[in-house]
Structure 1
Amino acid sequence: MSDAVTPATPQTVEALIRHRLSTALGGWRGSIETALPTVVFVALWTWRQDIRLAAGAAMGIALVLAVVRLAQKSSLTHVLGAVFATGIAAFFALRSGRAEAAFLPGILTNAAYLVGTVFSILARWPAVGFLVGAGDPRAAEDPFGWRKDRGMVAVCSRLTWVLVGVYAIRLLIMVPLYLAAEVAWLGVAKIALGWPLWVASIAVMGWMLVAGHTPLEPDSDTSPEAEPADTA
């Protein structure tokens, strides 16, 4: 007789999404790697008013973080995103000669995400569903299996509205600061509206998932019966 304890199987859409999101999302380190180049850029710009120095230092920090990841043989997902974003921001700032231009790519990206997330809800392909699918151990076989459960699509749509709110808040705060060329405040806003706002949105999603009790459809590939057994 085995003494092993079998992990509880999710019985609701919300429980399954909580499990999948915990698998798909990164942790604190990835968020720090994303924010650090911005901190360096704003600090050096405020101190020296030198765009080349600030942009070069920010790019250098991003590359150092990537080298550390490589040396540790760990995932480069978040740090490569930071390297790419920092490189684009530095290009915009150096090309225009205006420090606030470093924040324009992020503003445009958030505007695109806002439009994209709203469209994904209207098209019934909610963006959060793709995060849920990424946490599915069978994602390689059927990356869109989550759409076969109507309850899953409905819950993911409600959660995606939280993302819409995040992008809208960022634009409402950063666009006026950009137009006023408030570089220091743009830096503060970008950091505050990055990981802290993301944590707040995850907390809201978590509350929604705890409060909800949408049953899984038994014939869906996302149902508990479809989850592979733990062979460890």
Structure 2
Amino acid sequence: MTTPHETVEELVRARLATALGGRRGVAESAAPIALFTLCWITTRSLKFSLTASVSVAVALLLVRVVQRSNVQFVVNALFGIGIATLFAARSGEARDVFLPGILINGGYGVAFIASIVIGWPIVGFMIGSLVGDPTGWHDDKPLVKLCSQLTWILALPCVLRVAVQYPLYATDHVALLGTAKLALGWPLQLAAFAAMAWLLGRNRTPADDETRSALG
């Protein structure tokens, strides 16, 4: 039985918690590349750093399999570090481990901002897809406004990461690039989630019957 929600923020808060996989899902997604960065800074060994990051992703996947829990976020992490490994192995340069992340953040940033400009913020689709109605939320203007604000919060970290990391990548400052990766990873992501939590915690937008129906 679904518990009724009184505000739009409450509805969205519940749906985003499912979409993001909670604290564990976020941590599992970030762990491999964070470990690579730490290993590279301390050892300067590309092979060791890649091996360590891939190993931790595999270990996290095995834990999920043994626990018979959702492997989605670990698989995403394993795929991400696998792509990074291919980039670095092909070029033999440690900096190329970070290139996929820069490209992905750039792509996400463009997609997030473009979706806001055209009036169909991506967060709305994220929420709508969870209830089997990807577009029903768009009929509610207050909900569209809230989703636009949440999408901006997701877009800004992507833009900031590219703005800081690409110049370091272009000038081959791997240690600084790794440090920036860490500094703009967890801390920035947590700040974004905190901003989203604050926005969703205000509970200022009443949820009418149409909105409740659209979001389940």
Query: 2:187 & 2:31 partners in 1: Cα distance?
Result: 14
Report the counterpart of residue 193 of structure 2 in structure 1.
202
1:166 to 157, 164, 172: 157
Q: Which amino acid is the alignment partner of residue 35 of structure 1?
A: A
Determine if contact 1:129/1:146 at 8 Å carries over to the other structure. yes
* TM-aligned CA deviation for residue 212 of structure 1: 6.0
Query: 1:53 & 1:156 partners in 2: Cα distance?
Result: 42
Report the counterpart of residue 14 of structure 2 in structure 1.
19
Query: 1:227 & 1:95 partners in 2: Cα distance?
Result: 45
Query: 2:203 & 2:143 partners in 1: Cα distance?
Result: 12
Determine if contact 1:24/1:134 at 8 Å carries over to the other structure. no
Aligned residues: 215
Determine if contact 2:37/2:182 at 8 Å carries over to the other structure. no
Determine if contact 1:38/1:187 at 8 Å carries over to the other structure. no
Query: 1:227 & 1:179 partners in 2: Cα distance?
Result: 44
Report the counterpart of residue 38 of structure 1 in structure 2.
33
1:86 to 81, 85, 104: 81
Provide the aligned C-alpha RMSD in A: 2.3
- Quickly say closer, same or farther: Cα 1:49–1:72, change in 2 above 3 A: same
- Residue by residue, what CA displacement relative to the aligned partner does 1:42-61 show, whole Å, maximum 9, x if unpaired? 34333443322322332122
Matches within 5 A, 1:113-124: 113-124=108-119
Q: Point out where structure 1 has 5 or more consecutive residues left out of the alignment.
A: 1-5
- Quickly say closer, same or farther: Cα 1:39–1:154, change in 2 above 3 A: closer
Report the counterpart of residue 148 of structure 2 in structure 1.
157
Query: 1:88 & 1:20 partners in 2: Cα distance?
Result: 29
Going by fraction, where is helix more abundant, 1 or 2?
A: 2
- Residue by residue, what CA displacement relative to the aligned partner does 1:88-132 show, whole Å, maximum 9, x if unpaired? 111111111110110000000000001100111122221111232
Determine if contact 2:127/2:134 at 8 Å carries over to the other structure. no
Q: Which amino acid is the alignment partner of residue 161 of structure 2?
A: R
Q: Which amino acid is the alignment partner of residue 86 of structure 2?
A: F
Identity %: 43
Query: 1:177 & 1:227 partners in 2: Cα distance?
Result: 42
**With structure 1 as the length reference, what TM-score do the two structures score?**
0.82
Query: 2:119 & 2:163 partners in 1: Cα distance?
Result: 26
2:139 to 125, 131, 148: 148
**With structure 2 as the length reference, what TM-score do the two structures score?**
0.87
Q: Point out where structure 2 has 5 or more consecutive residues left out of the alignment.
A: none
Query: 2:178 & 2:93 partners in 1: Cα distance?
Result: 14
- Residue by residue, what CA displacement relative to the aligned partner does 1:170-191 show, whole Å, maximum 9, x if unpaired? 1122112212322233223223
Query: 1:59 & 1:65 partners in 2: Cα distance?
Result: 10
Query: 1:106 & 1:194 partners in 2: Cα distance?
Result: 11
Matches within 5 A, 1:1-232: 9-135=4-130, 139-140=131-132, 142-211=133-202, 213-218=204-209, 220=210, 222-223=211-212
